[in-house]
């Protein structure tokens, strides 16, 4: 069965803290993605990776960075958390081929105080 | 650039009546289109996808969608709503290489007894 897991379901951090969100997939997928979800805006792509150590900016990369040292793991890093980064963060993965289904993790709800 | 417009932010139906969630897309070439569903406090689940085969696509839980190129639409329908269908639904288009997804803003479906 397809599985994408995220390290935390809920997280509370203070402004200025460095925050790590971890995502692991067990499907040997090449592509991995980080989105944030906000009411009325749908999901917006932050960063994605199409291979180990490769990364590409999405639509809203400012204030974020990512790391992909192993194929199954993709980390999202908030270098200095700010209140406007309070959101739901969703990780997804897919096979490389265009049009292939993305499989999503359960999400991490982050609150920055 | 590709984009997706979900024409209704909220839809309310009675149990047992038909469901129609409307989606229009813009794409410079033949797109891959998806509908995802998100139940409260859950991750996104694929309902169905269109990838240039049959224009009428059947998905899980009795949902289906019809790809109409002339109208650039991909509306989601179900003949008879069930209480468990209450959720948020996202229309999605796949863009170019790396299987990037562009999400609509979402439609929240409420089902009343």
Q: Do A106 and B106 touch (CB under 8 A)?
A: no
Chain B positions in Cβ-Cβ contact with residue A49 (cut-off 8 Å): none
Nearest residue of A to residue B96 by CA position? A98
> What pLDDT, on the 0 to 100 scale, is given for residue A9?
92
> Lowest-pLDDT range, A45-49, B85-89, B93-97?
B93-97
CA distance B14 to A37: 28
Among candidates B44, B45, B49 on the partner chain, residue whose Cβ is nearest the Cβ of A90 = B44
Reported as a single tens digit per residue, the pLDDT across B23-58 is 999 877 778 899 999 998 788 999 999 987 788 999
Reported as a single tens digit per residue, the pLDDT across A3-20 is 899 999 999 999 999 999
Reported as a single tens digit per residue, the pLDDT across A31-80 is 999 999 998 888 999 999 999 999 999 999 999 999 999 999 999 999 99
CA distance A49 to A17: 25
Distance from CA of A55 to the nearest CA of B (A): 11
Average pLDDT (B66-76) is 93
Q: Do A98 and B42 touch (CB under 8 A)?
A: no
Question: Does residue B1 surpass a pLDDT of 80?
Answer: no
Distance from CA of A61 to the nearest CA of B (A): 15
Most confident by average pLDDT, B13-22, B65-74, B101-110: B13-22
CA distance A5 to A23: 6
Distance from CA of A109 to the nearest CA of B (A): 10
First to last CA, chain A: 37
DSSP-H helix ranges across B1-113: none
């Amino acid at each position: 069965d397809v599985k994408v897991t995220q390290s935390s379901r809920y997280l509370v951090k203070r402004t200025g803290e460095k925050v790590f969100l971890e995502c692991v997939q067990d499907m040997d997928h090449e592509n991995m993605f980080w989105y944030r979800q906000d009411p009325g805006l749908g999901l917006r792509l932050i960063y994605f990776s199409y291979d180990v150590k490769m990364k590409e900016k999405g639509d809203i990369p400012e204030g974020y960075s990512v790391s992909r040292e192993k194929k199954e793991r993709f980390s999202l890093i908030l270098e200095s958390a700010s209140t406007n980064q309070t959101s739901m963060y969703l990780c997804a993965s897919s096979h490389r081929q265009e049009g292939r289904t993305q499989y999503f993790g359960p999400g991490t709800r982050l609150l920055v105080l | 650039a590709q984009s997706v417009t979900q024409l209704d932010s909220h839809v309310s139906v009675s149990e047992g009546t038909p469901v129609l969630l409307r989606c229009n897309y813009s794409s410079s070439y033949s797109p891959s289109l998806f509908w995802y569903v998100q139940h409260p406090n859950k991750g996104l689940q694929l309902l169905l996808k269109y990838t240039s085969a049959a224009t009428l696509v059947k998905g899980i839980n009795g949902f289906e969608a019809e790809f109409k190129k002339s109208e650039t639409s991909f509306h989601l329908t179900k003949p008879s709503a069930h209480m468990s269908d209450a959720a948020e639904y996202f229309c999605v288009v796949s863009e170019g290489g790396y299987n990037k997804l562009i999400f609509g803003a979402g439609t929240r479906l409420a089902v009343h007894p």
